[in-house]
Amino acid sequence: MPKIRCSIFFSVFFLVISLSSSTLFAQQLGYSSNKNALGSQAMVVSPHPLASEVGLAILKAGGNAIDATIAVQFAQAVVYPRAGNIGGGGFMVIRLNNGETATIDYREKAPRKAHRNMYLDQAGNIVPGLSTKGHLAAGVPGTVDGLIQAHEKYGKLPFQQLIQPAIELAENGYPVSQTEAARLNRFQDDFKAVNDDPNPFIKENWKEGDILKQTLLAQTLTRIQQKGRAGFYKGKVAKAIVKEMKEGNGIISRRDLAKYRAQWRAAVTGQYKDYTVISMPPPSSGGVALLQLLKMVEDYPIEDWGFHDPRTIHLMVEAERRAYADRSQHLGDMDFYPVPIDSLLSKEYVEGRMANFSPKKASLSSDILAGAFQGQIKESFETTHSSVVDKDGNAVSLTTTLNSNFGCKVWVDEAGFFLNNEMDDFSSKPGVPNQFGLVGAEANAIQPGKRMLSSMTPTIIEKDGELFMVIGAPGGSTIITAVFQVFLNVAAFGMDLEAAVNASRFHHQWLPDRILIEKNGIKEELKEKLKALGHQMYEVNYMAVIKAIHRLQDGSLQGVGDRRNPDDDAKGY
């Protein structure tokens, strides 16, 4: 891509950055999150106010939803470094205003030197931490290629304009929030354990309002701006990644980087009553599992039972138990494994999965094996999500991740970004759970060039052929069930979007055999009724962090960021 001089950039970008550099930076923090926004034309919901501000500026400058999403993603790589990234990967679901849909899979890939037993010792046991921390945990990053391909196919504004705000945020720095400061402090020992060189994240006692400048990241983003994918997958940045790998016994090579390509895939679609659900196919497990869940509960009168009625929760938990059992056995990278999507989503199969459901008794996960076909063969909470709708009604749902907080904790010296630890999302040893308790089988075993299974569930929903909702979340294995529940909170239980997102949630993933519930989220009386059915419960602080947009009956848009993340932000006009 040709180099563009800064003087020809839209003045709106300089307005965003100048406000950040002077008025905003003159205060301790200078920005605040808005959890609930209304807009008559367009909406952005992201995990950080500065990223939302960038996306809104792109929309006001004439960009479409794809442009704004790309700009938001690059901005997140600066202001949301624990998950927003160029060192990881993700999924994007697109619905144009004419009803056309597409998805792009820019999930990371296993390096060429990867092999199925690479995280096992000589006795065949998993070596703790080998797939989660340090250089060997990283898959080949896909974010940059995915965003560039999305722009080439659907973008409206020049790509160079979309990345410029991120460059300036990295160069000028930005004040970290209280949440981010606390997180940076918590991971100081991890940063030091796997990084020999000084970097801007290693600092004693981060405080709210401290300025985080990322000069090397700005240089890397500038190379991408000037050279496109070659600015990342070749040249100086690729050399820096490979050098980092060699210094830490990692295995990503220059060939791995040069050969990486994102993959366009047909969306997984299905019906729930009057709604059409458009979601991500494998290697995301989200779309298939979400549609299974909706089909499993569709014929039951949950609207009459109501939200958090014991009958409703019992039914939804039993559906979740069965969908996650199927996830463990049948889902993986379709380029390597024949995922039986049509069978998994067939009416006959779904009815068969619920045939042994009892309204009076909890199933045992040991009795709920993954379904068989006749004749056929914890992703971290530090994922992130953005939902965008433009003035023409184009919509994008994008989920991206480094997996754990700051990925494998390896910061690429000379290039300025963290690498992912997505290799842990493979089944390092089939049948043995990963860091989030998810169990996988041969479908998700490690192979060179293969994409690892994910729980990310970027989703767009239509009602009667019109755009209804854009939704997604970070949250590891709880993403799928959170999207499932928030959608039903609106569609079945009549909640407005803010109430639907903020309502307490529950989660069952087959193994371990227990319901996760949010603290103080379920009344004691309800807990006792569920225990009487045979359910065990385990409390967690919170689950997935939804970012959603609801198109209201009058055509206006409501955007909601989740109370579970203090920095979640919605902006519209």
Query: Residue 47 falls within a domain, yes or no?
Result: no
How far does CA 146 lie from the centroid of its chain?
A: 14
Sequence-ordered list of residues with C-beta below 8 angstroms from that of 273, at least 6 positions apart, any chain: 298, 491
Structure letter (DSSP) for residue 177 = P
Beta strands in 390-523 (DSSP E): 395-401, 459-463, 466-472, 506-507, 515-518
As a whole number of Å, the CA-based R_g of the chain is 22
Out of 383, 384, 399, 459, the active site residue is 383
The DSSP result for 445-470, as a single string, is B--TTPBPPB----EEEEETTEEEEE
Give residue 439's pLDDT: 64
The reply to whether 383 belongs to the active site is: yes
Question: What residues form DSSP beta bridges with 250?
Answer: none
pLDDT at residue 18, as a whole number: 37
Question: For position 1, what pLDDT does the model report?
Answer: 40
Per-residue pLDDT of the chain (573 residues; tens, 9 = 90+): 433 333 333 333 433 443 333 333 334 678 999 999 999 999 999 999 999 999 999 999 999 999 999 999 999 999 999 999 999 999 999 999 999 999 999 999 999 999 999 999 999 999 999 999 999 999 999 999 999 999 999 999 999 999 999 999 999 999 999 999 999 999 999 999 999 988 999 999 999 999 999 999 999 999 999 999 999 999 999 999 999 999 999 999 999 999 999 999 999 999 999 999 999 999 999 999 999 999 999 999 999 999 999 999 999 999 999 999 999 989 999 999 999 999 999 999 999 999 999 999 999 998 987 655 443 333 345 699 999 999 999 999 999 999 999 999 999 999 999 999 999 999 888 767 766 666 667 899 999 999 999 999 999 999 999 999 999 999 999 999 999 999 999 999 999 999 999 999 999 999 899 999 999 999 999 999 999 999 999 999 999 999 999 999 999 999 999 999 999 999 999
- Tokens representing residue 315 in the block: 């039914």
**What is the rounded CA–CA span in Å between residue 451 and residue 439?**
16
Q: How far apart are CA 439 and CA 19, in angstroms?
A: 47
Q: What is the pLDDT of residue 197?
A: 82
The Cβ-side half-sphere exposure at 376, using a 13 Å CA radius, reads 15
Residues present in the chain in total:
573
Which letter, b or e, does each residue of 307-316 get, where b requires 16 or more Cβ atoms within 10 Å of its Cβ?
Answer: beebbbbbbb
**Does 10 map to a domain?**
no
Do residues 412 and 434 touch, judged by C-beta distance below 8 A? no
- In-domain check, residue 419: no
360 lies in a domain?
A: yes
| pLDDT given at position 441 | 73
Q: Which helix (H) or strand (E) holds 560?
A: strand 557-561
Helix (H) or strand (E) holding 480: helix 479-491
What pLDDT shows up at residue 436?
61
Closest of 368, 347, 370 to residue 356, by C-alpha: 368
Q: Rounded distance, CA 308 to CA 518, Å? A: 13
- Examine residue 416 and state whether it is found in any structural domain, yes or no: no
Q: Where are the alpha helices (DSSP H) in 187-284?
A: 188-194, 215-227, 230-233, 235-247, 254-259
Q: Considering the domain boundaries, does residue 396 fall inside one?
A: no
For residue 542, the domain's CATH number is: 1.10.246.130
The β-bridge relationship of strands 569-572 and 36-39 is unpaired
Q: Specify the pLDDT at position 4.
A: 37
- Report yes or no on 427 lying in a domain: no
Contact status, residue 268 vs residue 93, Cβ threshold 8 Å: no
> How far apart are alpha carbons 213 and 173 in whole angstroms?
4
Give the separation between CA 444 and CA 425, rounded to whole angstroms. 8
Amino acid at 498: E
**Which pLDDT does position 16 carry in this prediction?**
43
Residue with tokens 């993986």: 332
Other beta carbons less than 10 A from residue 554's beta carbon: 6
Domain holding 486, by residue range, is 285-380+469-566
Angle (CA) 121 123 129, round 5°: 30
* Of residues 217, 83, 87, the one with CA closest to residue 140: 87
Phi-psi region of 513 (alpha: psi -120 to 50; beta: other; left: phi over 0): beta
Number of domains in the chain: 1
Q: Give the bridge partners for 104, in sequence order.
A: 92, 264
Q: Per residue in 243-257, is it b (16+ CB within 10 Å) or e — as a string?
A: ebbeebebbbbeebb
**448 contacts 113 by C-beta, under 8 angstroms:** yes
Return all residues near 516 (Cβ < 8 A) that are at least 6 apart. 478, 506, 507, 508, 537, 538, 539, 540, 543
At position 90, the amino acid (one-letter code) is G
Q: Is 385 helix (H, G, I), strand (E, B) or coil?
A: strand
| pLDDT confidence of residue 378 | 39
- The answer as to whether 509 is a domain residue is yes
Which residues have a Cβ under 8 Å from the Cβ of 486 and sit 6 or more positions away? 471, 500, 501, 503, 546, 548
CA-CA distances (angstroms) from residue 147 to 92, 252, 412?
Answer: 9, 21, 20
Q: Return the H-helix or E-strand segment holding 296.
A: helix 286-297
